[in-house]
Structure 1
Amino acid sequence: MPIPVRRLAALLLATLAHSAVWAAEAQVAVAANFAEPIKAIAAVLEKTTGHTLKITLGSTGKLFAQIRNGAPFDMLLAADTRTPEALEKAGLAQPGSRFTYATGKLVLWSAKVGRVDDVGAVLKAADLGKVAFAAPKVAPYGAAAVEAMDKLGLSAALAPKLVQGESIGQAFNFVYTGNADVGFVALSQVLEGGQLRSGSVWVLPSTLYSPIRQDAVVLRRGAGNEAAQALVNLLQSPNVKDLIRSYGYGL
């Protein structure tokens, strides 16, 4: 027997209300290099579970300081392993919740087509302008850039040209807006659909810097938060791992 329209409408409303009750929100602190992937992942999360994310981007060091000072985050996606470990030791993270969600790659990028070649010779060019990088004390990609410049033997020569951003996001913006000629940024920032979005790029050999292993951890406030747990599950799923790879990360 067909269900009467009124009863069908009531059932639909009840179902929607039930879904709304169970939909949760997680406040997630995310390293700036992961800005584009986390947007895509948040959209997948909402579409598949109804849960939503409130995302705060920044350098890993600054996010760590905010968490230590009581910022209401449920989860941290860092750009290193040391910060999540430190949060565990300080009792600010859920024990056993830490895992690696990506391994980053450092690149030298210019917004100008043809400016950067495939061996980074532009760093020795007489007409080289400002060189952007992220603050090494708070941004793991900035520390990697310093390490790479040291190994290339260019630290002294480049010192007068360096401009430092508070995060890898700000370093990217210096180059994007033309305030820097080139910059050491994350590969994920310059790719779209696995292809270079614009400009020119040199992917630095991994031998020039220590591995940028990026760990996530559920914070003490996130215990029992269904949206945070759903994000953990999603980050470890095969399809989302493929999505992360498409932004130039290793796993």
Structure 2
Amino acid sequence: MKKIFLSLILLATCMFADKITIFAASDLKFALDEIKTEFLKQNTKDEIEMIYGSSGKGMHQIENGAPYSLFFSANMEFVEKMFKHGDVTTKPKPYALGRVVIWSKHKNFDATKGFDNLKAPWVQKIAIANPTHAPYGEKAKQAMESMGIYESLKSKFIFGENISQTAGFVASEAADIGIIALSLALAPTIANTEHNKYYLIENKLHKPLEQGYGITKHGSNSSLTKKFYDFMETKTANDVMKKYGFVID
């Protein structure tokens, strides 16, 4: 009888537990991991797996049937496109505006010199995210075009598949300097080191980096998906986002 009782308890626990997988843009790596931790403190039986990458590639994976329940994109237009095609079932909702910075570990990097750093003699390789599918790469390109330096620097570019890999190129010194997300420049792995200086690029130099999210067709019947979706609008989640430099309306 005792074994039966324990089995029933285990069965009931499993019945009320849930697990989902979320795809998110790489700039959210540290912020969303922290938000997930706070969320699971209130939902201890549930599990959330996070997959990070470029927004464009995440969009294509979901369009091709990847079992992601929520999609967080660094480009709101991707979420709007998916909503139009039925791959996202909730009306696209903004979660923040992203900021872009110039960052380097090189001893000659001077944050006060801004874009002039990119043209300095010590710079041989410049890391940016691939502008064709990574929103931060697109904004980096727009900013350099606004400054009239994009074409002259093209031969020095090395492209990251996403903004996290781009930051990794700079962190490992595979690139001398890079244009990355402010949220990654504020991440503990960078902010808590001596190489935590960066130049914040003015918003007026590129189109707004409006970021959005939505519940996918795969996650439309999941109560856990809806709970996490709603949790993103709480003060707890907003405070974490602000901590990593995201602009909350």
Give the distance between the partners of 1:157 and 1:24, measured in 2 at CA.
Answer: 52
Give the distance between the partners of 1:234 and 1:113, measured in 2 at CA.
Answer: 42
**Residue 3 (structure 1) aligns with:** none
Match of 1:219 among 210, 216, 219: 216
**Residue 59 (structure 1) aligns with:** 54
| Number of positions where the alignment pairs a residue of Structure 1 with one of Structure 2 | 239
**Residue 70 (structure 1) aligns with:** 65
Instruction: Identify which range, 114-123 or 202-211, moves more after superposition.
Output: 114-123
The C-alpha deviation readout for 1:224-247, integer Å capped at 9, x for no partner, is 212211111211001210111000
Match of 1:235 among 232, 235, 238: 232
Using the size of structure 1 for normalisation, the TM-score is 0.89
Match of 1:35 among 23, 29, 34: 29
Matched, 1:26 2:20: yes
Using the size of structure 2 for normalisation, the TM-score is 0.89
> Is the CA contact (8 Å cut-off) linking 2:30 and 2:187 kept in structure 1?
no
Instruction: Tell me the CA shift for residue 116 of structure 1.
Output: 3.5
> Is the CA contact (8 Å cut-off) linking 1:132 and 1:171 kept in structure 2?
yes
Give the distance between the partners of 2:118 and 2:126, measured in 1 at CA.
Answer: 9
Instruction: Tell me the CA shift for residue 185 of structure 1.
Output: 0.4
Structure 1 runs, 4 residues or longer, greater than 2 Å off: 16-21, 111-114, 195-198
Matched, 1:110 2:104: yes
Identity among equivalent positions (%) equals 27
Give the distance between the partners of 1:119 and 1:99, measured in 2 at CA.
Answer: 36
The C-alpha deviation readout for 1:191-214, integer Å capped at 9, x for no partner, is 147x93331210111111111111
Q: Residue type matched to 1:201 in 2? A: Y
**Residue 203 (structure 1) aligns with:** 200
The C-alpha deviation readout for 1:142-187, integer Å capped at 9, x for no partner, is 0000000101111122111111111111111110111001101000
> Is the CA contact (8 Å cut-off) linking 1:107 and 1:204 kept in structure 2?
yes
**RMSD, matched Cα:** 2.0
Give the distance between the partners of 1:32 and 1:95, measured in 2 at CA.
Answer: 22
Greater Cα radius of gyration, structure 1 or 2: 1
Give the distance between the partners of 2:212 and 2:30, measured in 1 at CA.
Answer: 17
> Is the CA contact (8 Å cut-off) linking 1:75 and 1:216 kept in structure 2?
yes
Please list every run of 5 or more consecutive structure 2 residues that lacks an aligned counterpart in the other structure: none
**Residue 80 (structure 1) aligns with:** 75
Please list every run of 5 or more consecutive structure 1 residues that lacks an aligned counterpart in the other structure: 1-6
Instruction: Tell me the CA shift for residue 20 of structure 1.
Output: 4.1
Q: Residue type matched to 1:205 in 2? A: E
